[in-house]
Structure 1
Amino acid sequence: MLISVKASIEWLREYVDLEASTNELVDVFPMLGMEVEGVEDSGPPPLDNVVVGEVISRDQHPEADRLSVCKVKVGEGIPEANIVCGATNFEPGDRVPVALPGAKLPGGFKIKKSKLRGVTSEGMMCSSKELSLGDDHDGLLILREKPEIGTPINQVFPDADPTFDLELTANRGDCLGHLGIARELAAHYDKALRVPEVKSDAPTVATPSGDNLLSGVSISSSNCKLYCAWTIRGVKVGPSPDWLRNRLEAVGLRSINNVVDATNFVLMETGHPLHAFDAKKIAGSEIIVRDANADETITTLDEEKRTLEESMMVIADAEKPLVVAGVMGSVDAEVDEDTKDLVLEAAWFVPGNIRGTARKLGLSTDSSHRFARDVDPQRIRFAARRAIDLILETAGGELYPEEVQVGEPPRGDRTIEICPSFVRERCGYEAEDERIGKAWLRLGFEVEKGDKWKVTVPSFRSEVDRPIDLVEEFVRIDGTSQIPESPVACEAISREHSPLFTFSEKAADILVGQGFRECCNYSLRDAREIEAWHGKETTDALALANPLTAEHTHLRASLLPGLLDTLAHNQRNQNDLRRVFEIGRVLRDGPKGNMELLSVAFAMLSKHTAREWKEEATPDFHEAKRCAHRLLAATGISMPKGGIKAMKDPLTWQQDHAGRAGEVLINRVELSVGYCKLALSRAKELNGPIIGAELLIDPVVISKKAKAVKFQAFGSFPPALKDLALVVDEEVPAETVRRAVQQAAEKAAGKGFAADRVNIFDVFTGQGVEKGKKSVACGICFRSDERTLEDKEVNSAFDEIQSILAESTDYKLRS
């Protein structure tokens, strides 16, 4: 699974000297394990006639309640422009971007002098979105740094800041902040990493003192191992400075206010989520980290009321939850323009709990994205102190000299023992000891050399915990280009070498040759359909733990339901599609749980969908059986012993109109053929009964090496034919009689000849045959490959057949 993050090049250059071009970095990032999904420029395109203007006056439009008429100074010696504007977030004295007549804005919008509700407008004051400087279009872009009036806007925002959309593997949570990405680039280019210096600090205490804004901090949930809180008095909440707004907008975040922006800046810088509370909104001045109560509710910052479960964790005060821990805060304690005192939290939560909470609530945020990937518990204090510095710089206030800490970091740095020879063996090429050690040092690891090297891995690299991980890190930083080329020492293997592919191709060929058309249906099915075809036990066994939709909740146990869907769809649309087949995987119950089997299934309409001038023969059970036999013969699968026997399947097949041969658990092959249960075909609104078959095969059978095919010449001498009519009980299958005659003929055949075949040519009931009995007539063919048979030896064999049958069966010779 991949995770995404945005990285601004200008922001990265604050931590490492980067001389590489954007195109070069596009190639470098994948070598470091970060795929580049796209590159965006956050700066404006070239904009002519867009300059800095200052609002001189603002008056109500005489004909429109929501418009104002402004006088705007756009340069020295230039008459003030009269501009009609609908925004409300500005006052006289503010400086804003002004597009003058003749300007062409992103998107092709041209500015010209025009009248709005009777008042002439000589330009347009612009928002960030209109200049492609951000997504904010709720009001004008206020230029708080007060650039000189008349300055072209491209000089105010001179350089586009390329922003990379990167995708990381799920174990690289350390790169979900600009510092982590800069560390990787510094290691790649062998440059120094500049970590920001933090000034704010306070002694750690377990319990707040009496002068603290907090009266207590406690943890009762096992999913929180560390919680830290700081308090700041006397802040002034307001707009952020331009540099802070620009940094956030470059990575797709909207500026809120200076306090919230400071925490979001640190989030994007370090990858550590923080949260700021309005201290006066915390009931009882107490912070409690606890599991949520059943059906407890909270209104999150997106103004959605959410119902919590006991498996979720909240940050609460004495009365109510204030934050869905690790996911999103509530409106009950948010920082707004009236906030004077702050509580800043930093914590470490169990990643699995945050991941589960976000998934259940359907709420993925920048914070949950990072907590779910395991933030570094050893650098929580650094992130918080960095945020405090920014808050004091942009919002003022005074830090109370206490850090309230409950719990301990769950992990720290780890030491791994390794030998350089191990690295060389695993890499497959020679690398000097110094080169190996330097690669690890560039990553921020510590290396103690000796008989066995001891490499200390910092806590922010939680995924590096084995010697083989150190080998991977060496190769990554040393460069995969250093790996010498070597020819592949194996034969090329294609799908044509796969017995399963070959079998499927043969099966498809033989069915297409019999008039069937192949189709491919979705492998996930509906629960009600599975239960109707296979029963509740199978339905429960094939249920998905995390279904994508309500209609696709189970793995399939048969291909037949999908084939019936295909026939029904084409019948509704008057398409003349009568025979369909599919080849795919299904699951059935086995001794050790579900078994995956290869299935070949076909289905036929017994009635035509279109009117014909000439009535054609309609398919029946025997035709389906012949198709199945041809399929077995063509694919080299042997018919299970016993042949097809009548079956009574109360769910899938019509009673007394279906048969089955073999069983997967015994023969590893199972063939079912007959009429699908009428209730199932009617549920699909099909016209008439459906004849189908399904061949289930354990893939082990196909994976075995096929036996060599032996060809045998046809006999050149004429056969000797004999007919034998036997009276048997009416319920005895004709095939059972044929096999008995075949076995007797094989035993009775004389020296130098054999029973070539035995076939049934007549089954009769009626006059001359006792009630409850039937006559089965078989033709017996004797043949020799060496000579023409004499009547004497054929008659002798025929008499012997009758004797054998008289002794081994209760069949009577028909007179």
Structure 2
Amino acid sequence: MKVSIEWLKDYVEVDASTEELVEVFPMLGMEVEGVEGGGGADIDKVVVGEVLTRNPHPEADRLSVCTVNVGEGQPEASIVCGASNFQPGDRVPVALPGAKLPGGFKIKKSKLRGVTSEGMMCSAKELNLGDDHDGLLVLAHRPDVGIPIKEAFADSDVTFDLELTANRGDCLSHLGVARELAARYDRKIRFPEVKSDVPTVSEPSADNLLSKVSIESENCKLYLAWTIKGLKVGPSPEWMKRRLESVGLRPINNVVDVTNYVLMETGNPLHAFDAKKIAGNEIRIRNATEGETIKTLDEVDRRLDESMMVIADAEKPLVVAGVMGSVDAEVDQNTTDIALEAAWFSPGNVRATARKLNLSTDSSYRFARDVNPQLARYSAQRAIDLILETAGGELVSEEVKVGNPPRGDRTIEIAPDFVRSTCGYEVTDEQLADAWGRLGFTVEKGEPWKVTVPSFRAEVDRPIDLVEEFVRIHGTSEIPETRVVCEAVSRNDAAQFTFSEKAADALVGQGFRECCQYSLRDGKEIEAWSDQATVEALTLANPLTAEHTHLRASLLPGLLETLAHNQRNHNDLRRVFEVGRILRPAPKGTTELQSVAFAILTKPIAREWDTELAPDFHEAKLLANRLLAATGIIMPKGGLRSLEDSSAWQQGHAASAGDVHQNRVELTVGFCKLSLSREKGVNGPVLACELLVDPVMLRQKVKPVKFRSFGSFPPALKDLALVVDENVPAEDVRLAIETAALQATDKNFIVDPVTIFDVFEGKGLGEGKKSVACAIRFRSDDRTLEDKDVNAAFDETQRILAETTDYALRS
């Protein structure tokens, strides 16, 4: 948003330099994107000239030869010019020979295509007075001919281009910025006095230009209207034109310019209708009908839907509410009677409408940031005064008011000690009252204090917001320097950072490429990959878009989208991973988890000579184990268990270990469901792994690993094959044998981890059966085991298995 310092001075005393304001605005929460004007016209030998004649150049179609009066007592100058936006009688800046323009460009007498040019007529950019360089700077205020250009711009305005945060809609006006400067410098703010004050009625009388005003949409809480007869539409006064141009607006006519002027002054959008074009003298604030069309002021036919709100008459829509008016009720040179509206529209509705129509205007920009409803009446009265002053006419109606402002001032209770403890330094009660008072807040001291916040500060609604406002106005430079003595901590000591770095390094080393996905996801995706409870737990209260309504519950959907994107673009990216944070439902609310996930596209490249086998479950399991080893994560006992019922993983081809709520760690590895892969656009099966870790586990001290030397005595090996149902996971059999062997030895000697060396299905086992063969290693650190000890332990292992399982010994 552009603000003019000359304009601001109408409301607050501003004596700070441009350089100082560049530093001050960011401290008030307004970033300075650019500065225009101010001091650029103070150049020697640049004067005001008047164009006397303009003739075509004899040798160049795009040039003209002009005779220019450069002052009394000075010879008329012949100047060759390439601009086309001027005519005889215009006054323009003229740089005479010897002038040195910004950028080091020196003017001298020269010939252009055979014609002598005795100087140069200048654009705004050439004098550092603006960005316009398409034509000459025509001096509409017609300063005296021959005076130095610096005198013509003795009060040269400076315009700041400010970038505001979305919650500071109150600063989208000159009065709003002036209010901030007044608070910063402890100055009084001057509001323009309004004169037009008429009675308020809820229904217009039959004698007025409006016979009925009604609100039929829940997105409009307040609508005000006035009518003026007998005005004359024409050009605006020069002072108003200059101000509008200084903030980037094009003057149109006095009525429209007044609404734009008040918009930039107060921040409250207004709209003027040609009253004679309002069918039935009726105004209806309603939702559009599906497929209804309107031709907006930019001459574009726009199709509306039922979610959009319009201001309509008895027959047709006249305005897309809060966005732009239509040509059907446009104020033009023939207009003599107008209806003026001021209203409050729902910010969310205006924002959504502007986005759907791809139409952003000064009005929609402000309505989307919640215009102060208490300002509507004042802004309209200010506009009425200016219309009567610049266009004449007579205010003929009462103020028609339908609805009520949706909000007013609010009171927040706060204790001064809360401010002091939050700030971390001593603050006096007087300093608190002074800072809040300068912001326009009313302070009532007591137990606790009651601070009344005006309606224009809708975002200040909590005690912590009052603390922020105090620090902002009191100044961060006033915070006393405090020396903090503590142990220096490197960022690498942060547990989560270390975990993330180790995980990323391990996967990059295995040929994976790292991704970084958006953390907001679609609710339908969350439901497909998890369950309804997760959808409800991770729903955003105020989503920005319909596609980003939930916090993510898994990194895998984003990785599948990446694989699909690369497939579509013929990029052979097959291994991707991401390290990030997700949320999951917990017994008490939701919990944030650290997650590492990788995905592998298993579809082989279609080349005859490429005989490499496609990755399978065992490779994914190997990669997962390497990830665990690299990050130092120890899984709970029990190993991987087959996933029988999962919304995201292929049944019979995926396994998991641990539970993040019980063990603070959980690992799942295997094939993603083909339906979900196809839904994301992936052509072919996808192997994946997701490791979830509770951040609390990462902060716990890891027990040091104790070194144990290799045994010097030989182990004793025993093989055991069991016949089990074909649907029993081999890992279950291995665990059962290892548990039985440990019980059988009763800690008299050591049992190394049992390993599977064969799984057989075939004849002789019976239908639906399979054989799982495991190797058991018995050994001791202090002696060579004797056969009788090993055989006794092996027999006891088989006995325990016979008692505790229904597995059969394979003969």
TM-score by length of 2: 0.80
Instruction: Report SS of the residue matched to 2:189.
Output: coil
Residue 710 of structure 2 is aligned to residue 718 of structure 1: no
**Matching of residue 184 in structure 1 with residue 162 in structure 2:** no
Aligned match of 1:516 in 508, 511, 514?
511
Please name the residue that 1:35 is paired with: 31
1:699 aligns with 2:687: no
One-letter code of the match for 2:713? Answer: P
| CA distance 1:409–1:784, shift in 2 (3 Å) | closer
Whether the 8 Å CA contact 1:295–1:308 is kept in 2: the answer is yes
The alignment status of 1:749 with 2:740, answered yes or no, reads no
RMSD of equivalent CA atoms: 5.3
Give the Å deviation of 1:657.
6.1
Aligned match of 1:603: 600
Q: Aligned match of 1:370 in 366, 376, 381?
A: 366
1:662-811 equivalences under 5 Å are 669-673=666-670, 692-699=687-694, 702-703=697-698, 705-714=700-709, 716-724=711-719, 726=721, 728=723, 731=726, 735-749=731-745, 752-761=748-757, 778-805=774-801
Alpha-carbon spacing, 1:463–1:661, altered in 2? closer, same or farther (3 Å): closer
Deviation of 1:22 after TM superposition, in Å, equals: 1.6
1:248 deviates by 1.7
What amino acid maps onto 1:559 in structure 2?
Answer: L
User: For residues 356 and 318 of structure 2, what CA distance do their matches in structure 1 show?
Assistant: 19
What secondary structure is seen at the aligned counterpart in 1 of 2:690? strand
Which residue of structure 2 aligns with residue 559 of structure 1?
Answer: 556
User: 1:384 maps to which residue?
Assistant: 380
1:280 to 276, 279, 289: 276
1:472-551 aligned within 5 A = 472-488=468-484, 496-511=492-507, 515-520=510-515, 522-523=517-518
The whole-number CA distance in structure 2 between the counterparts of 1:650 and 1:431 is: 57
How far apart are residue 480 of structure 1 and its match?
3.4
Identity %, equivalent residues: 59
Contact kept, 8 Å, 1:563 with 1:582, in 2: the verdict is: no
The residue number in structure 2 matching 1:268 is 264
**Structure 2 partner of 1:24:** 20
In 2, are the aligned partners of 1:584 and 1:599 still within 8 Å (CA)? Answer: yes
Residues in 1 aligned to 2:452 and 2:520: alpha-carbon distance in whole angstroms: 51
Q: Note the alpha carbon deviations across 1:147-177, whole angstroms, 9 max, x for none.
A: 2233444432345432223333444333222
Aligned residue for 2:223, secondary structure, equals strand
Structure 1: how far apart are the matches of 2:416 and 2:640?
66
Amino acid at match of 1:29: F
Give the match's secondary structure for 2:718.
strand
Deviation per residue, 1:696-743 (Å, 9 max, x gap): 325367447255134142354413414335463684665555444433
Tell me the distance in 1 between the aligned counterparts of 2:470 and 2:551. 44
Cα shift readout 1:556-579 (whole Å, capped 9, x = no counterpart): 84538837966995999898x876
Name the aligned partner's letter for residue 669 of structure 1.
E
Partner-residue secondary structure (3-state), 1:293: coil
Is the Cα contact below 8 Å between 1:578 and 1:608 reproduced in 2? no
Contact 1:556 1:587 in 2 (8 A): yes
Contact 1:59–1:68 at 8 Å: present in 2 too?
yes
2:153 aligns to what? 157
Measure, in 1, the Cα distance between the counterparts of 2:607 and 2:783: 56
Distance 2:413 2:649 in 1: 65
Q: Secondary structure at the match of 2:752?
A: strand
Deviations 1:283-333 (A, max 9, x none): 333433333333322222122222233343332333322222222221122
The answer to whether the 8 Å contact 2:441/2:452 transfers is yes
2:310 maps to a residue whose letter is: V
15-24 vs 672-681, greater mean Cα deviation? 672-681
| TM-superposed deviation, 1:338 | 2.7
* Deviation at residue 46 of structure 1 after TM alignment: 5.5
On the 8 A contact 1:725/1:775 being kept in 2, the answer is no
Deviations 1:40-97 (A, max 9, x none): 337755567765444556789999999998765444453475878874775x544455
* C-alpha contact (below 8 Å) 2:80/2:112 kept by paired residues: no
Q: Contact 2:78–2:116 (CA<8 Å) still a contact in 1? A: no
TM (norm. structure 1) is: 0.79
Matches within 5 A, 1:37-436: 37-41=33-37, 45=41, 51-56=47-52, 73-76=69-72, 77-79=74-76, 81=78, 87=84, 93-97=89-93, 142-208=138-204, 212-400=208-396, 402-413=398-409, 429-436=425-432
User: Which moved further from structure 2: 176-185 or 741-750?
Assistant: 741-750
Number of equivalences: 804
Distance 1:64 1:211, change over 3 A: farther
1:694 positional shift: 0.8
Contact in 1 for aligned 2:65/2:78 (Cα 8 Å) = no
Q: Is the 8 A contact 1:717 1:788 kept in 2?
A: no
Q: For residues 295 and 144 of structure 2, what CA distance do their matches in structure 1 show?
A: 44
Report the residue type matching 1:699 in the other structure: D
Contact 1:414 1:457 in 2 (8 A): yes
Instruction: Give the drift of 1:254.
Output: 1.9
**Change over 3 Å in CA distance of 1:242–1:586 after alignment to 2:** same
Which runs of no fewer than 5 residues in structure 2 stay unpaired?
none
Aligned 8 A contact 1:106 1:130 in 2: yes
2:277 maps to amino acid: K
SS of match in other structure, 1:277 = strand
* One-letter code aligned to 1:243: W
Cα separation, partners in 2 of 1:728 and 1:26, compared to 1, 3 Å: same
Q: CA deviation at 1:266?
A: 1.7
Shift of 1:367: 1.6
Amino acid at match of 2:477: S
Gaps of 5+ in 1: none
Quote the Cα distance in structure 1 between the aligned partners of 2:525 and 2:406: 47
Q: Distance in 1 between matches of 2:613 and 2:462?
A: 71
Q: What residue identity is the alignment partner of 1:198?
A: V
Q: CA deviation at 1:359?
A: 3.3
Alpha-carbon distance between aligned partners in 2 of 1:411 and 1:777, rounded to the nearest angstrom: 76
Residue 581 to residue 309, structure 1, CA distance change in 2 (3 Å)? closer
- In structure 2, do the counterparts of structure 1 residues 547 and 767 end up closer, same or farther at CA, with 3 Å as the change threshold? same
Specify the SS of the correspondent of 1:145: coil
Deviation at 1:38, TM superposition (A): 3.2
Per mean C-alpha deviation after superposition, the further-off stretch among 243-252 and 307-316 is 307-316
Q: Deviation at 1:29?
A: 2.4
User: In structure 1, what is the Cα distance between the partners aligned to 2:163 and 2:350?
Assistant: 21
Q: Say whether the 8 Å CA contact 1:495–1:501 is kept in structure 2.
A: yes
Residues in 2 aligned to 1:574 and 1:464: alpha-carbon distance in whole angstroms: 50
- Cα-to-partner distance string for 1:266-292 (whole Å, 9 max, x where unaligned): 211222222222233233334333333
Query: How many Å separate the matches in 2 of 1:471 and 1:773?
Result: 72
1:346 match: secondary structure: strand
| 1:342-386: CA deviation from partner (whole Å, max 9, x where unpaired) | 333223334443334333333222222223333334443332333
Query: For the residues of structure 2 that align with 1:771 and 1:342, how far apart are their CA atoms?
Result: 92
